[in-house]
C-alpha cells in the first residue's frame, strides 16, 4: 500500500523520510564530517526557527557538540557545494547558534540512565574520544568510570586549548550532558602513578585507553636544556589552569601547526608584546589552519618562514635567542617530510623565552610491563578493525593510536571503540560491526545548475578587535544573532534533502522533468532525480500526480501530518479568525515570526513545497483562512516557482468553491522584505479580510 496514503500508518512521515535519506548519497558536508553530522538537516531546522530539533540532529551523533561549535575545523565547509557558487555555508557558526539557542532545552533533557547491562567499563582519559565513548557506553546501559589525570574533565580541551578559542562554559555543557547519565568521575588520578593499569583492569569488565597525545616533543639541539625554553603542552596547561608563567619581553615559538598558534596567541594574551613564530614551512605550506594564521597576524604576531632551529643561544645561562638555519625544502618529491637546509645561511632570532611546539606524543609509560604491547617505535599496538589492543578487553581510541587530528575525528574513534566494547562485552563479533563514516556523497554541482543560483554573500563572523582581544582570554568570536543565523541558514542549498522517487508509484509521466528548473529529473522507465542537480526546492513533489516524489527533508506530506496539531482545537466562540499561514523562512527578520496566536505558523523551506492538498487540509483542520506568504520573487532562492505556487493557490480556491467557501479565504501574499517583521503586517491585513468574510461554522 502506498506510503503517503491515509490507510497505511507505519511511523511518521519524518521517520520514513529519515530512513529514505540513509539509502541515498550523503550531502558532501555530511560525508566530510568525521561523525557524519547531518548538516543539511539541522541547518534546515535552524532556517525554520526549530532550534531544539537542530540540537537533536547535532547531538545525536556528536556528544561534544558545543566544543565543536567553537573549535571544529569544519571539513563540512570545505566540502560545501556552495563553494561552486560563491562561498561555503558558515556551518560551524550555525552550529554554535543552534546550541546557544537550545541550551535550556538541553539542560532540561539531562537525566540518569539506568545501568541495565550489569557491567562496568573504565575510560582512561576524558578528551573528545574518551568522553564520546563514555557517553555511548552510558547510553547503552554500562557503568562507566572515567579516569582523568587533570583536576577537571575534558583532556586537552580543558587542559590545553586556550579559553579564548574554547570558552569553558561550552565545554561544560558537553561534559554535563555526559556526566548526568550517571558516570563515575575520578579526576586527578594518573594511571601508573596513582593507580596501576592492572588494578583498573581487575576492577572493570573492559578498559578504554583514550589518553591522547599529552607529551610535547622537544628538539635535540644545543642549549635546549635549561630555563627559558618551554614545551607547548606544559605551557598551555599553565595557561589553562591560570598559572601565569614569566615569559619576558619577547617570545619565540618554534613550529607552524595549530598548537603553535595556540601557544603564540596565548603568549600574546599573557601580555607579551613581541611574539614571533619560526617554522620550516613557507606561508602556503604551514600545517596550521589558514584562519588561525590570519587571526594570529592580526594580533601582531610575526612569522618567520623557512628557518629551522639550530641551537639555543644563552648568555649567563639565560636564553638570548635561537640560532636558525635557512630551509631549502621541506618535503621530498613524494611529499614526505624531509627538510633540507642551507647550512651557510644562519641567523640569530633574539628572544627571552622559546616555546617548542613541534608535535606531541602519548605518555604510555604506564603500559610498561602490562599486557598491552607497544611496538619498537613506541606506539600502542592495536587492531583498527576491532579497536582492541593486544590485551583482551583493553581497547584504544583517539589520537593515542590515530596520531594527531581533530577533536571530531577523535570523537568518531570514540564511537567506534564504544561499540567495540559493547560487542565484546556481549560476546558478539566486533570486526565488520563497527560504525564507519566513509559514505558515498553527492557529486559536485554541475555548472548549469550553479549558474542558476543567486549569489548571496556568507554572513560575516565578527571578532573582538585584535587590540582588545590580545588583553583577554575571553572568547574573541561573536556568535551570530538570530537575524544573521537565519539568513545564513537560508543560504543552504539543501543537498541531500531533495526529491526522491518511489519507483513503485512512478508511471514515468514526465511531470517532474517538465517542472524542474534545474534539470534534475531524467525520466526513462521511471523518473530518476539526480541528486547533484536537485536543489531541494520541492517544486516537483506537490505536482507529482502519483504521489511518487518525496522530499527527503521537511517533506510536503509532513505538513499534512502535522497540521492538525499546529491548528489545534478551534474555539467555536472565537473572536479572531484562525489563520493558517505557510511562511517562507528564507527572509525571516530579527523579529522572527512575531505573529499573534490566532495565526498558526507553518514555516516552510520554500512555498514551492506547498501542495493544494495542504491548503485543503488547513481548512479541514478548522482554519478560517489560509495564507501562503512567500518572499519577494526577486529574492527567492529558487528559480521559476512563483507561477506554480500561484496556480496551486488558484486550484485550491476553485476546490473550496465547490464546497461553497469564498475564494478569498486563500491568498498568496508576499513578505514585507523591508520590514523588521516581514510577516506581521501581511498576516494582520489578511486576518482582517477574513474577519470581513466571517468565521466558518464548519
Partner 1 sequence: MIVGSQKSIDELWEMTKDFKKVLVFGCNTCVAICHAGGEKEAETIATLLRMRAAQEGKAMEVDFTSVMRHCEPEYFEPVLEDLKKYDLILSTACGVGVNFLSDRTGNIPVYPGINTSFYGAVEAPGVFVELCAGCGNCILHLTGGICPIARCSKTLMNGPCGGTNKGKCEISKDVDCAWYLIVERMKKLGTLEKLAEVQPPRNWSTSRDGGPRRVSLEHIRAFEEQEAGKSDPAGGKK
Shorter beta-carbon distance to partner 1: residue 418 or 544: 544
Cβ within 8 Å of residue 659, ≥6 positions away: none
What's the DSSP call for residue 395?
Answer: E
Residue 594 beta carbon to partner 1: minimum distance, rounded to whole angstroms: 31
525 binds partner 1 per the rule CB under 8 A: no
- Select 28 or 547, whichever has its Cβ closest to partner 1: 547
Q: Is residue 658 within the footprint of partner 1 (CB under 8 A)?
A: yes
Q: How far apart are CA 608 and CA 620, in angstroms?
A: 21
Contact 264, 275 (CB under 8 A): yes
Cβ of 651: how many Cβ atoms within 10 Å? 14
Radius of gyration of the chain (CA): 29
- Applying CB under 8 A, among 427, 432, 545, 572 the residue interacting with partner 1 is 545
Q: Minimum distance from CB of 620 to partner 1 (Å)? A: 5
Contact between 643 and partner 1 per CB under 8 A: no
Hey, what's the cell of 42?
Answer: 539541522
Q: Does the protein bind partner 1 through residue 504 (CB under 8 A)?
A: yes
Q: Is 4 in the site for partner 1 (CB under 8 A)?
A: yes
Q: Which residue has the cell 606506539?
A: 379
Beta-carbon contacts of residue 100 (< 8 Å; ≥ 6 apart): 479
Q: Looking at the DSSP assignment, which residues form a beta bridge with residue 327?
A: 341
CB 510 → partner 1: shortest distance, Å? 8
Residue with smaller CB distance to partner 1, 423 or 509: 509
Most distant CA atoms of the chain, gap in Å: 100
In the complex, the smallest distance separating the C-beta of residue 574 from partner 1, rounded to whole angstroms, is 17
**Between 479 and 547, whose beta carbon lies closer to partner 1?**
547
Shortest spacing between CB 625 and partner 1, in angstroms: 15
Q: Judged by CB under 8 A, does residue 5 bind partner 1?
A: yes
Min separation Cβ 661 and partner 1, Å: 9
Task: Give the range of 149-157, 545-553, 638-646, 672-680 binding partner 1 by CB under 8 A.
Answer: 545-553
Q: Among 605, 617, 644, 648, which residue sits at the site for partner 1 (rule: CB under 8 A)?
A: 617
Residue with cell 627571552: 352
- Is 10 a residue that touches partner 1 (CB under 8 A)? no
The answer to whether residue 269 forms part of the interface with partner 1 (CB under 8 A) is no
Ramachandran bin of 359, using left for φ above 0, alpha for ψ from -120 to 50, beta for the remaining angles: left
Q: CB of 170: closest distance to partner 1 in angstroms?
A: 46
Number of residues in contact with partner 1 under rule CB under 8 A? 32
- Residue 249, classed as helix, strand or coil, is coil
547 binds partner 1 (CB under 8 A): yes
Query: Is there a contact between 42 and 50 (Cβ–Cβ < 8 Å)?
Result: no
By DSSP bridging, strand 499-501 and strand 549-551 are antiparallel
Among residues 622 and 678, whose Cβ is nearest to partner 1?
A: 622
- CB count in 10 Å sphere of residue 264: 27
Options 100-108, 279-287, 417-425, 617-625: segment touching partner 1 (CB under 8 A) = 617-625
Q: How far is the CB of 684 from partner 1 (least distance, A)?
A: 27
Scanning 140-148, 331-339, 430-438, 605-613 for contacts with partner 1 by CB under 8 A, the matching segment is 605-613
Q: Does 544 bind partner 1 (CB under 8 A)?
A: yes
Spatial separation of the C-alpha atoms in residues 581 and 567, rounded to whole Å: 10
Which CB, 210 or 628, lies closer to partner 1? 628
- Closer to partner 1 at the Cβ: 185 or 508? 508
Spatial CB neighbours of 239, under 8 Å, sequence gap ≥ 6: 162, 266, 270, 473
- Examine residue 578 and tell whether it contacts partner 1 (CB under 8 A): no
Residue 244 vs 698, nearer CB to partner 1: 698
Q: Residue 618 Cβ, how far from partner 1 at the closest point, in Å?
A: 10
Q: Is 70 helix (H, G, I), strand (E, B) or coil?
A: helix
Residue nearer to partner 1 on the CB measure, 108 or 524? 524
Shortest CB 155 distance to partner 1, Å: 54
**Per CB under 8 A, 564 contacts partner 1:** no
Q: Which stretch binds partner 1 (CB under 8 A): 140-148, 329-337, 374-382, 612-620?
A: 612-620
Using rule CB under 8 A, residue 133 touches partner 1: no
CA 170, CA 464: separation in Å to the nearest integer? 18
Strand pairing partners for 303?
A: 277
Binding partner 1 by CB under 8 A: which of 53, 276, 488, 611? 611
427 vs 545, which CB is nearer to partner 1?
545
Q: Determine the interface stretch with partner 1 among 140-148, 238-246, 345-353, 539-547 (rule: CB under 8 A).
A: 539-547
Q: Which of 573, 584, 552 is closest to 15 using CA atoms?
A: 552
CA–CA separation, 269 and 278 (whole Å): 19
User: According to DSSP H, which parts of 463-515 are helical?
Assistant: 466-469, 482-489, 511-515
Among 636, 579, 635, smallest CA distance to 607 is for: 636
Sign of CA pseudo-dihedral 475, 481, 482, 484: negative
Contact between 616 and partner 1 per CB under 8 A:
yes
Q: Which stretch binds partner 1 (CB under 8 A): 143-151, 342-350, 389-397, 615-623?
A: 615-623
Q: Residue 572 burial by CB count (10 A; 0-12/13-18/19+): exposed, middle or buried? A: exposed
* Of positions 266, 612, 677, 680, contacts partner 1 by CB under 8 A: 612
Alpha helices in 336-446 (DSSP H): 399-402, 407-425
**Residue 568 lies near partner 1 (rule: CB under 8 A):** no
Contact call for residues 277 and 303 (beta carbons, < 8 A): yes
Between residues 158 and 523, which has the closer beta carbon with respect to partner 1?
Answer: 523
- How far, rounded to the nearest angstrom, does the alpha carbon of residue 587 sit from its chain's CA centroid? 23
Question: Given the complex with partner 1, which of 7 and 447 has the nearer CB atom?
Answer: 7
Helices (H), 547-630: 556-567, 612-620
Report if residue 646 touches partner 1, rule: CB under 8 A: no
Residue 471 as a binder of partner 1 (CB under 8 A): the answer is: no
Q: Output the nine-digit C-alpha cell for 344.
A: 651557510
C-alpha cell belonging to residue 155: 583532556
Kindly state whether residue 6 participates in binding partner 1, applying the rule CB under 8 A. Answer: yes
User: Cβ of 83: how many Cβ atoms within 10 Å?
Assistant: 16
- Can you give the binding site for partner 1, defined by CB under 8 A? 1-2, 4-8, 504-505, 507, 509-511, 514, 542, 544-548, 611-613, 616-617, 619-620, 655, 658-660, 698
Amino acid at each position: 500500500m502506498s506510503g503517503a496514503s491515509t490507510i497505511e500508518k507505519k511511523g511518521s512521515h519524518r521517520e520514513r523520510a529519515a530512513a529514505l535519506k540513509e539509502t541515498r548519497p550523503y550531502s558532501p558536508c555530511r560525508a566530510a564530517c568525521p561523525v557524519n553530522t547531518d548538516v543539511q538537516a539541522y541547518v534546515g531546522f535552524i532556517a525554520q526557527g526549530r532550534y531544539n530539533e537542530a540540537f537533536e540532529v547535532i547531538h545525536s551523533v556528536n556528544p561534544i557538540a558545543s566544543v565543536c561549535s567553537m573549535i571544529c575545523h569544519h571539513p563540512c565547509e570545505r566540502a560545501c557545494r556552495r563553494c561552486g557558487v560563491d562561498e561555503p555555508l558558515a556551518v560551524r557558526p550555525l552550529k554554535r547558534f543552534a546550541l546557544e539557542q537550545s541550551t535550556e532545552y538541553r539542560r532540561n533533557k539531562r537525566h540518569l540512565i539506568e545501568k541495565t547491562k550489569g557491567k562496568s567499563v573504565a575510560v582512561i582519559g576524558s578528551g573528545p574520544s574518551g568522553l564520546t565513548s563514555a557517553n555511548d557506553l552510558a547510553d547503552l546501559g554500562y557503568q562507566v568510570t572515567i579516569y582523568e589525570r587533570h583536576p577537571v574533565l575534558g583532556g586537552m580541551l580543558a587542559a590545553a586549548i586556550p579559553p579564548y578559542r574554547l570558552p569553558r562554559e561550552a565545554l561544560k555543557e558537553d561534559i554535563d550532558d555526559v556526566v548526568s547519565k550517571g558516570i563515575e568521575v575520578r579526576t586527578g588520578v594518573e594511571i601508573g602513578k596513582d593507580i596501576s593499569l592492572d588494578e583498573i583492569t581487575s576492577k572493570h569488565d573492559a578498559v578504554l585507553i583514550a589518553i591522547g597525545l599529552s607529551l610535547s616533543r622537544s628538539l635535540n639541539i644545543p642549549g635546549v636544556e635549561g630555563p627559558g625554553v618551554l614545551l607547548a603542552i606544559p605551557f598551555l596547561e599553565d595557561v589553562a589552569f591560570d598559572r601565569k608563567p614569566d615569559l619576558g619581553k619577547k617570545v619565540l615559538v618554534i613550529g607552524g601547526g595549530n598548537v603553535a598558534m595556540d601557544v603564540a596567541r596565548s603568549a600574546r594574551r599573557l601580555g607579551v608584546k613581541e611574539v614571533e613564530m619560526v617554522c620550516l614551512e613557507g606561508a602556503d605550506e604551514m600545517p596550521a589552519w589558514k584562519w588561525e594564521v590570519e587571526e594570529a597576524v592580526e594580533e601582531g604576531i610575526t612569522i618567520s618562514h623557512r628557518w629551522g632551529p639550530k641551537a639555543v643561544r644563552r648568555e649567563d645561562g639565560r636564553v638570548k635567542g635561537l640560532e636558525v638555519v635557512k630551509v631549502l625544502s621541506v618535503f621530498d618529491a613524494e611529499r614526505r617530510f624531509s627538510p633540507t637546509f642551507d647550512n651557510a645561511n644562519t641567523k640569530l632570532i633574539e628572544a627571552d623565552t622559546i616555546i617548542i611546539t613541534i608535535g606531541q606524543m602519548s605518555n604510555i609509560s604506564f603500559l610498561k610491563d602490562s599486557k598491552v604491547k607497544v611496538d619498537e617505535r613506541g606506539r600502542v599496538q592495536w587492531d583498527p578493525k576491532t579497536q582492541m589492543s593486544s590485551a583482551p578487553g583493553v581497547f584504544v581510541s583517539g589520537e593515542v593510536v590515530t596520531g594527531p587530528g581533530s577533536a571530531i575525528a577523535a570523537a568518531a574513534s570514540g564511537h567506534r571503540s564504544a561499540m567495540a566494547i559493547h560487542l565484546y562485552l556481549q560476546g558478539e563479533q566486533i570486526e565488520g560491526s563497527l560504525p564507519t563514516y566513509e559514505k558515498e556523497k553527492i557529486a559536485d554541482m554541475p555548472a548549469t545548475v550553479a549558474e542558476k543560483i543567486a549569489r548571496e554573500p556568507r554572513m560575516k563572523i565578527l571578532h573582538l578587535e585584535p587590540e582588545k582581544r590580545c588583553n583577554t582570554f575571553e572568547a574573541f568570536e561573536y556568535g551570530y544573532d538570530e537575524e544573521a543565523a537565519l539568513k545564513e541558514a537560508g543560504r543552504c542549498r539543501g543537498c541531500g534533502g531533495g526529491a526522491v522517487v518511489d519507483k513503485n508509484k512512478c508511471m514515468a509521466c514526465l511531470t517532474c522533468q517538465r517542472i524542474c528548473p534545474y534539470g534534475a529529473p531524467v525520466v526513462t522507465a521511471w523518473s530518476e532525480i539526480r541528486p547533484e542537480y536537485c536543489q531541494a526546492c520541492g517544486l516537483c513533489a506537490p505536482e507529482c500526480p502519483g504521489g511518487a516524489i518525496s522530499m527527503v527533508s521537511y517533506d510536503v506530506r509532513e505538513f499534512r501530518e502535522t497540521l492538525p496539531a499546529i491548528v489545534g482545537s478551534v474555539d467555536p466562540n472565537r473572536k479572531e479568525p484562525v489563520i493558517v499561514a505557510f511562511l517562507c523562512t528564507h527572509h525571516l527578520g530579527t523579529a522572527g515570526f512575531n505573529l499573534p496566536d490566532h495565526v498558526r505558523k507553518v514555516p516552510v523551506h520554500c512555498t514551492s513545497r506547498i501542495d493544494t492538498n495542504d491548503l485543503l487540509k488547513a481548512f479541514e483542520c478548522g482554519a478560517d483562512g489560509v495564507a501562503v506568504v512567500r518572499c519577494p520573487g526577486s529574492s527567492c532562492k529558487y528559480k521559476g516557482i512563483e507561477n506554480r505556487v500561484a496556480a496551486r493557490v488558484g486550484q485550491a480556491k476553485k476546490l473550496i468553491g465547490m464546497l461553497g467557501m469564498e475564494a478569498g479565504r486563500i491568498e498568496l501574499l508576499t513578505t514585507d522584505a523591508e520590514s523588521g517583521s516581514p510577516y506581521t503586517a501581511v498576516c494582520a491585513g489578511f486576518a482582517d479580510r477574513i474577519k470581513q468574510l466571517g468565521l466558518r461554522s464548519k
